[in-house]
Amino acid sequence: MKIPGRLKAAAFASAIAAAAMLSLPATAANADVYTHTDMVRCYHVVADEACVEIFANSTYSGSQVWINGSVHCYLSYNALLGSNEQHLDWCGVGGGNGTATLNIGINWTDAFEGASIPYLYERIDIPASGSETCTSWGSNGTYWEVQLWSNYYFVCNWPGGGSPHGAPPDG
């Protein structure tokens, strides 16, 4: 029996899709736990405050965690000056996608009224298994005009969609 060309293509596509599904880890195909990790990191410069936000949604099993979508990063808008004096240099997955710990990060430069402050960064390790204890590290020094660092908020593996804390403050 001869199979028409378009049916061959459909059968081939179905076979490829089935093979792709079989090659995925069973936990990824069955993962039904979605969480939100979000950090707003602020630094105080002279008489002002500037903040960056990094967040991601993830899916996890007992031993692996996957990025769900992409990492999102935002720089604070300076309402007083009507401008954004920060420059986003990088935002994304730093490694570990599909392993026990997913690393996300942001790099930025600040040009707050004077010398540019380069090489600012923040990283978050999101653990598999749904633990609400993320590890974070990054810029924390009091150099140039930076006087103090603080977390406006930091939530790790919050179940459900969206942020539990709302938008970050304006700088």
How crowded is residue 128: how many other Cβ atoms within 10 Å of its Cβ? 22
| b (16+ CB within 10 A) / e for 45-71 | beebbbbbbbbbbbbbbeebbbbeeeb
Q: Which amino acid is at 142?
A: T
Give the residue extent of every domain in the chain.
1-25, 31-159
Of the two residues 51 and 161, the one the predictor is more confident about is 51
Of the two residues 72 and 26, the one the predictor is more confident about is 72
For residue 167, what pLDDT band results from cuts at 50, 70 and 90?
Answer: very low
| pLDDT tens-digit series, residues 40-84 | 998 887 777 788 999 999 999 889 999 988 999 998 766 555 566
- List Cβ neighbours of 33 (8 Å cut-off, separation of 6 or more): 59, 60, 61, 130, 159
| pLDDT tens-digit series, residues 111-160 | 766 667 788 999 999 999 888 899 999 998 877 677 889 998 899 998 86
